[in-house]
Amino acid sequence: MIVARIIALLIGYGFGLFQTGYLYGKSKGIDIRQQGSGNAGTTNSLRVLGWKAGIITFAGDLLKAVFAVLLVKLIFHGTYGADTKVLELYAGFGTVLGHNFPCYLQFRGGKGIACTTGVILAVCPPAVICCAVGFLIIVGITRYVSVGSIFLVSAYLVQAIIFGQLGWLKISGASRIEFYILSACFTGMAIWRHRANIVRLMNGTENKFGTKKGDK
């Protein structure tokens, strides 16, 4: 499955290069990376360009991950059966990498939360409700999108392990461990991408949702 893993990653990376926020901003004559927080993700698009831009960016970034996962499933399921679930996760991780580090934009993209949500939806649907509801509650109470985002990826990792152990994901033993490790990479990547937010949270200087300046 080594070649299959590489192919899945490359397919995902290709989908990740579709930078919804950047492309939407360019259609309005704006480079979103030069505005607000300088990030090409959902929250900065929303704060700089408004709710319509935020919704379109979130939907586009979520769906590109879903499509990447489904394509890999279509290609490999007949060959690898249940173990294709791991390849699907590789495709999702590749999408996040392409979104966060787009080669044609000097590797300056987003933080991958909308993409990760799409991966969860496509690969581990039972985890979506807890992740989404928890995110909304935390952001609603604290108004810190970064805190909600870190919760989302952390909750996914915990649930991936729980559902895997319960057999809900229908993955074989060896592939299950790999699935957990790769899921942990999603969480680690998101936390690392939010490292500046974490420092500001500790210093009490993090921007709250609804302010003019963002960091997402």
pLDDT exceeds 80 at position 9: yes
Q: Which of 26, 193, 200, 214 is nearest to 97 (CA)?
A: 193
Q: Which two tokens stand for residue 70?
A: 């489904």
Question: Could you give the CA distance from residue 144 to residue 6 in angstroms, rounded to a whole number?
Answer: 36
pLDDT value of position 216: 39
Confidence of residue 39 (pLDDT cuts 50, 70, 90): confident
Q: pTM (2 decimals)? A: 0.92
* pLDDT tens digits, one per residue of 88-108: 999 999 999 999 999 999 999
Average pLDDT, the chain: 92
* pLDDT tens digits, one per residue of 144-176: 999 999 999 999 999 999 999 998 888 877 899
* pLDDT tens digits, one per residue of 197-213: 999 999 999 988 876 54
Question: Could you give the CA distance from residue 127 to residue 18 in angstroms, rounded to a whole number?
Answer: 25
Question: Could you give the CA distance from residue 133 to residue 127 in angstroms, rounded to a whole number?
Answer: 10
